[in-house]
Amino acid sequence: MIRLHAAILVLLLGLGVKSWADDWPQYRGPKRDGVSRETGLLKAWPKGGPKLLWTYRDAGAGFSPPSIVGNHFYCMGSKDKDDVVFALDTQTGKPLWTASAGPRRLTDWGDGPTSTPTVDGDYLYAVSILGELHCLNRHTGKHVWHVHLKNDLQGKILHDGRYCESPLVDGDLVVCCPGNKGGTFAAFDKRTGKLFWRSKELTDEAVSSSVIVTEIDGLRQYVNLTGKGVAGVAADDGRLLWKSGIPAAWIMVATPIRHEDSIYVTTAYGVGCGLLKLKREDEGIKTEVVYRNKVMKNHHSGVTLVNGLLFGCSDPIGWICQDFKTGELVWNERFGFDKGSFAYADGHLYCYGESKGEVALVEASRKGWIEKSRFTIPELTKIRRKNGKIWTPPVIANGRLYLRDNDLIFCYDITP
């Protein structure tokens, strides 16, 4: 039997089966860390970029990154007077359905939602910019339940009332952060929307970051940035386990990075970054600050950990590589590429510039900015940007690269 399996493996390799596909079912990918597990992707792109498979021009205003499961693409935008959730066929780019997610809100930095729908089984969960948490049937777009984080739970956001986070599904729960006196975190029954608990001991205002889940010595917990720093609450009842004042800024967006027993956080506006080591003590958590510095001052594109190295864009010194354990700067590239967002796959960073729509394929290395290829999206949105730019991070799923500029969505084939 072992020899038979080996023979099948050799045959598959001989037939050129090199790429292992992977869905992208939630914000920042399968593990909420900006990493795709796909391999066998192009190591360099042809002149003009990889093959453009389709363009969708009716996504509406917004910065929402998509989630991808199988042949289905899920995203959000603003059309007419509403925020909407919509689905596309990933093979053709044709629309499958559109569902209202609540009233639209105009802003001075650019209109539209920023949340990524989270897919779980036959359902998806999405948050509108005004704080409506929706559960929909992902095949039809039919509404199952919804909760208003502001009106129903008296939630409050630190900055200007716009909800930007993407909900987390963990087991039977949907977890997000309404913020305010009722409790910063909240957990709902994913099937009914019934409130399961709120973090009554933690009442900070919410921010634009999204919840992650981690476990320390068997103690499962949810972690997120808040209006006063970063905190962790118990997954079973929402009780406060720990809290730290790093970071704390006017706007906090970058989702925390978890690795083993540590949590890394960063924000811009001169604040910087820090690494916390967590240790269980009875039914609580003790925190130790490993370092705190201003090497990584990430604005809104997030950071990614690869092989002990943190990659991201830091204001104002550009793209950087930072040692995760020590916090020391490994390298930075200020003038080679525009400020922007990125995702990681198969040894490379897929960097997406916020001004011109340039895309760079960069080796994820401690040796410096090693750029393999570059191209520019074929057209830019005609929607008035106000103060906003191209702020939707790239998504890599099932051998394809998805890029968005407001109402425009581009799908590229990145397989050999």
Spans of all domains in the chain: 18-413
Q: How far apart are CA 294 and CA 249, in angstroms?
A: 13
Query: Tell me, what amino acid is at 384?
Result: R
- Position 13 scores a pLDDT of 38
Which residues in the chain show pLDDT less than 70?
A: 1-20, 107-110, 160, 250
For residue 60 the two structure tokens come to 């509406």
pLDDT digits (tens, 9 = 90+) for 155-191: 998 876 789 999 999 999 999 999 999 999 999 999 9
- Position 74 scores a pLDDT of 98
Nearest alpha-carbon partner for 396 in 376, 378, 415, 373: 415
Q: Is 281 left (phi over 0), alpha (psi -120 to 50) or beta?
A: beta
What pTM did the predictor assign?
A: 0.94
- Position 108 scores a pLDDT of 59
- Position 10 scores a pLDDT of 37
Q: Which residues in 304-318 are b (16+ Cβ under 10 Å) and which e?
A: bbbeebbbbbbeeeb
Q: Tell the CATH superfamily of the 18-413 domain.
A: YVTN repeat-like/Quinoprotein amine dehydrogenase (2.130.10.10)
